[in-house]
Amino acid sequence: MSPVKVGLLGLGTVGSGTATVLKRNAEEIARRAGRGIIIDHVATSKSELPQGLGLSNSRITTDPFDVVNDPDISIVVELYGGDEPAKSLVMQAISNGKHVVTANKALIAIHGNEIFAHAQEKGVLVAFESAVAGGIPIIKALREGLSANKINWLAGIINGTGNFILTEMRDKGRDFQDVLEEAQALGYAEADPTFDVEGVDAGHKLAILSSIAFGIPLQFGKTYLEGISTIAKEDVDYASELGYNIKHLGIARQTSQGIEQRVHPTLIPKKRLIANVDGVMNAVLVHGDAVGPTLHYGAGAGGEPTASAVVADIVDITRALTSDPENRVPHLAFQADSLSDVPVLPVESIQTAFYLRLTALDEPGVVATITQILGDGDISIEAFLQKQSNRADAEPANTATIILLTKVVNEGKMNDAITKIEALSVVSGNVTRIRVESLS
């Protein structure tokens, strides 16, 4: 059978990785796919194709529409990222009856419902394994391997850059900006690195995972986002003293009221495997009713790890080229006409435990006043630490740092309690709050 011809949009870190992996493993990939796969047409701003990527016979263009309109191309691989021109290119490729592979999580999270509807209408596939957790085959695991289960919840470290920054800061005391620059140089970070540190990139990925886990339309706009830039070294240390590591987690949970879909720094018991996932590695913990917990671990960013998922999608599509469109795995795991309208909950409705840190006057009755406010809000305390200021010149003077862990509580009730605590004259500054998940 003649080889499948692929059009590649973008020859950056992941595009070069894709060409490299397709070249290096060409023979094994062909044995798996049932036919060869060649990159026939490449859109890149480079004036010529680099040597050593196996692209010596490929055509090159600076206009990506040349590729999506090329009648010889069966599969378009979109690696531009971002909104436009990626969206127009993908929609045009679909209109032209081409299958699409994309690593673009923003595109899928924000425009996926529209893109999949168009693909369904044209009988083509849009594959996006590489959009979530780099090289980890989590989309395939959720969509196929776990399809027997009702998914109760999932929690993931799904931004490699953020995890790399947190790990380097914790283990080597490195400066935030310095580690971020290294992540950019290594090709981990987004074009706009605030997407990594403010939780936007993880939010895109979580919206995709949540949709596939629970059979709901993609709803990135309803995802609660909180980044890592506010995490202080002292919180990392106090959390450690209490037996926890702080990780930036994306959490999606099915409750009787609706779906929790949230990204934020989280204290996790150190004994959980996922609490020990460091560096650029990602991990997604999925809890299914039949299987229980499953942990999916691997490199979350970088050229070849992400290319591993891109090429797997190309192989999957190649195998499916002759299959009946009606019998393919649905884009969002559930049949398109069977998605549920169960709501994504506002953050005030979620249930979680909290770590609180505050500075208060070191006087009789202060702790009692604070715990009374918590008690009045039905908030039960799990653990308590008090640290005297160790600086003679501490401002304000005669203060202590109070650290509390609460039991699971409604977030709205916690907001009310924090407002009341911050209004106390004996409390100075804001209350630092970090959510705590047992993941048991």
Does residue 46 carry a catalytic annotation?
no
How many CB atoms are closer than 10 A to CB 370? Answer: 23
The structure tokens listed for 430 are: 């804001």
Identified catalytic residue from 205, 247, 271, 413: 205
Q: C-beta of 231: minimal distance to ligand HSE in Å?
A: 17
Subset of residues 110 to 149 that bind ligand HSE, contact rule: CB under 6 A? 134
Report the distance separating Cα 387 and Cα 406, nearest Å: 18
196 touches ligand HSE (CB under 6 A): yes
**DSSP annotation string for 354-386:** EEEEEEEE--TTHHHHHHHHHHHTTPPEEEEEE
Report helix, strand or coil for 58. coil
C-beta closer to ligand HSE: residue 300 or 377: 300
By rule CB under 6 A, what string of x and - marks binding of each residue 365-404 to ligand HSE?
----------------------------------------
Nearest residue to the partner ligand HSE, using Cβ: 161
Q: C-beta of 224: minimal distance to ligand HSE in Å?
A: 19
The single-letter DSSP state of residue 344 is: B
Tell me which H or E stretch contains 197. helix 194-197
Question: In sequence order, what are the residues at sequence separation of 6 or more whose Cβ sits closer than 8 angstroms to the Cβ of residue 56?
Answer: 49
By rule CB under 6 A, what string of x and - marks binding of each residue 153-192 to ligand HSE?
------xxx--------------------------xxx--
254 touches ligand HSE (CB under 6 A): no
Q: C-beta of 295: minimal distance to ligand HSE in Å?
A: 18
Report the distance separating Cα 133 and Cα 158, nearest Å: 5
Q: C-beta of 104: minimal distance to ligand HSE in Å?
A: 10
Report the distance separating Cα 47 and Cα 54, nearest Å: 17
201 touches ligand HSE (CB under 6 A): yes
13 touches ligand HSE (CB under 6 A): no
C-beta closer to ligand HSE: residue 12 or 217: 12
Please list the residues that pair with 177 across neighbouring strands. none
Report the distance separating Cα 396 and Cα 303, nearest Å: 50
Half-sphere exposure of 22 (CA within 13 A, CB side): 30
Residue of 439, 35, 51, 422 whose CA lies nearest to 431: 422
C-beta closer to ligand HSE: residue 196 or 316: 196
Please list the residues that pair with 285 across neighbouring strands. 155, 295
64 touches ligand HSE (CB under 6 A): no
Number of residues that bind ligand HSE (CB under 6 A): 11
Subset of residues 261 to 320 that bind ligand HSE, contact rule: CB under 6 A? 300-301
Which are the catalytic amino acids? Answer: 205
Binding site for ligand HSE (CB under 6 A): 134, 159-161, 188-190, 196, 201, 300-301
